[in-house]
Amino acid sequence: MDIHEYQAKELLARYGVPVPRGGLSYSPEQASYRATELGGTRWVVKAQVHSGGRGEAGGVKVCHSDREVAEAANGMFGRRLVTRQVPRGKCVYRVYVEEAMEIKRELYFGIVLDRSAEQITVVASAEGGMEIEELAAENPQALFRVTVEPAVGFLEFQARELAFAIGLAPSQIAKASQLFRAAYRAFRDLDAALLEINPLVVTADEDLLALDAKMSFDDNALYRRPAIAELRDRSQEDPRESHAADRGLAYVGLDGDIGCVINGAGLAMATLDMIKLAGGEPANFLDIGGGASPERVFKAFRAVLQDSNVKVVLVNIFAGINRCDWVAEGIVDAFRKIDVTLPVVVRLAGTHVEEGKRILAESGLPIVTVDTLAEAAERAIEAGTEVRAAAGAGG
Ligand code: GDP
Ligand code: MN
């Protein structure tokens, strides 16, 4: 789960990371009021969307009066901010107003999980402001990394090493090392999966400050971090994914037209590969998980159908803990309770498969049942083509 910049800054500040003073607003009037409240003569108005690259997209504006602040905010509210990271754009409903800083240097600081090494990597660079992926590709020697063993923690000497590596003055090393370790504590304590301060700046007064902040959290840890879970902003999520998440389903939205109901992430990947190999494009996939009840399968089916791009539904279940008869019951239930007009291709294998197939056959519903994944992919693509042709013929 991602959170907004202002939320990340609030969390980081609680751990002792210095951030600029600022105030959140939900309207241009409130934005200008925030500026007056903060005082000073220069402010930065920042669109709060779950994306980086806002600066170049017009989502970060430096202003010199409260009227300018209101105008800048007015230009952002309700707009869909299209950034390099999010080509579909994200809507701006919140704007953050901060005291503007006099910037001397822009640096980069980040913390990520290295899953394969089962460790945490802390990254820093003297080249701030740029996207990390770009920097890694263009100038990898400008990135400095230290690996942190989570059981030991991020040690003082490692933090100092990074601070020196990015060329901070000797007088700034202690401050930087404190900031780095405070950020690390926030990352660990709050079950973050990613933390990025880009840019981390040196101000004209030689202060070190997080000018931008991004944090993402491990969804699987949110149950024990209710205060973090509350920061969720649905307006920034793919509505298809939040609908499913609310029902305890793991859903991934894609751009094609074959909706997929599958059990397990591995089988999902294999199914997507098979669809692509056969020349089709998946619209999404929904993982029903293990031991799914008919009710759960029904909900999964409904969630997949909510995507109007879906032209055909492919159900691929390899039942171990799951039961094919329950899956079949869920599918039949979906046909009864919602008006399913799209073709449905079902491949069932494993536990209670005969019973599952019998339920589907006896339902008398127009369900195409197949035995292999390859066949499922082919039939789904055929059916999708027919639906498109029919829609085209119908006008
Ligand atoms: P992003 O584009 O979404 O990553 O948004 P950032 O918060 O990183 O802002 C983009 C850029 O705007 C920064 O790299 C700075 O160059 C500039 N910027 C942001 N806040 C200030 C500020 O207070 N003063 C000045 N001078 N520039 C700022
Ligand atoms: Mn940034």
In this predicted structure, the answer to whether residue 18 has a pLDDT above a threshold of 70 is: yes
Concerning whether 96 is annotated as a catalytic residue, the answer is no
How large a percentage of the chain has pLDDT more than 90?
82
Q: Are the C-beta atoms of residues 69 and 35 closer than 8 Å to each other? A: yes
69 lines ligand 1 (CB under 6 A): no
Residues in the chain: 395
Candidate list 5, 98, 106, 196, residue with the active-site label = 196
52 lines ligand 1 (CB under 6 A): yes
In this predicted structure, the answer to whether residue 306 has a pLDDT above a threshold of 90 is: no
Mutate to test the pocket of ligand 1, among 21, 132, 212, 236 (most ligand atoms within 8 A of CB): 212
Mutate to test the pocket of ligand 1, among 4, 43, 50, 103 (most ligand atoms within 8 A of CB): 103
Question: What spacing in Å lies between the alpha carbon of 344 and ligand 2's midpoint?
Answer: 45
Q: Are the C-beta atoms of residues 364 and 333 closer than 8 Å to each other? A: no
Q: Which domains does the chain have, with CATH numbers?
A: 1-19+102-237 (3.30.470.20), 21-100 (3.30.1490.20), 238-386 (3.40.50.261)
pLDDT digits (tens, 9 = 90+) for 57-79: 999 999 999 999 999 999 999 99
Residue nearest to atom 9 of ligand 1 (CA): 55
How large is the average pLDDT for residues 275-298?
93
In this predicted structure, the answer to whether residue 190 has a pLDDT above a threshold of 90 is: yes
Question: What spacing in Å lies between the alpha carbon of 60 and ligand 1's midpoint?
Answer: 7
Q: Which of 19, 78, 13 shows the shortest CA–CA distance to 44?
A: 19
CA–CA dist 367, 331 (Å, integer): 9
47 lines ligand 1 (CB under 6 A): no
- The pTM assigned to this predicted structure is 0.78
Neighbouring C-beta atoms of residue 105, cutoff 10 Å: 17
